[in-house]
Amino acid sequence: TPPAAEPATAPDIDGAKTSAHVTEFGRIAAANGGNRAHGRPGYRASLDYVKGKLDAAGFTTRIQQFTQGGATGFNLIADLPGRGDPNQVVMLGAHLDSVAAGAGLNDNATGSAGTLEVALTYAATGAKGDKAIRFGWWGAEEQGLVGSKAYVASLSAAERAKIKAYLNFDMIGSINPGYFVYADDARGTAIAQALKAGFAAEEIPSENVDVQNRSDHASFKAAGIPTGGTAALSLATSMSAAQAAK
């Protein structure tokens, strides 16, 4: 439910800083066999990079371990103490792993970088709403949403109930982009409306997308938590002429 008062003005997120995180993920992959995949050193180096930035910004971070395919996987969860009601949580998340075949700069260094820069800006500006904001970076998404499933499964019923919304950011930096808003969760209608309103305020045409539960929001959706998100591409093999015109 939206607060009765007018929402606080959201701070701008620095695109150059976001791009710098993507570049760093690329450097990490290059130094670790060319990828950042589950069970590979590039993944843990990526997690350590994100954790270091968050810890320096004052977040309380924790690493959650799980096992997939005989290898240890890791999620990273971050909360900012004293900011918003801890019993009313909005969560933002992105998967941090790549496939084994490459660095995964769009899929999903972009979502990981965007979520990281939102977190750092949230901490630095003192922005505050009525709800707490929690951030998550998921391991082994490419293996079947394994990390986010492990996180949701680890929550007690009481802890799950505190999460009022989960927003997912997977592939948000395509170099041939559209502006897509998740529309596959009836419980998340208010989230989709808010995201569309944000695009509209910037005079950016957006459209609905159904990513067919193929990203980490599906783990939260299955637990009854309202979900939403954005992406820079759909599952279609090519753009329509109308999308290209946009």
Residue 213 gets the label, from left (phi > 0), alpha (psi -120 to 50) or beta, of: left
Catalytic residue among 6, 24, 117, 141: 141
DSSP state of 228: E
21 and 28 in contact (C-beta within 8 Å)? no
Residue 155, classed as helix, strand or coil, is coil
Question: Containing H/E element for 128?
Answer: none
Q: Can you read off the two tokens belonging to residue 15?
A: 């695109």
| Phi, psi dihedral angles at 155 (to 5 degrees) | -80, 135
Helical packing angle, 41-56 and 15-30, nearest 10° = 150
202 is catalytic: no
| Phi, psi dihedral angles at 185 (to 5 degrees) | -140, 110
115 contacts: CB under 8 Å, gap ≥ 6: 92, 93, 94, 135, 137, 169
Q: What positions carry a catalytic annotation?
A: 141
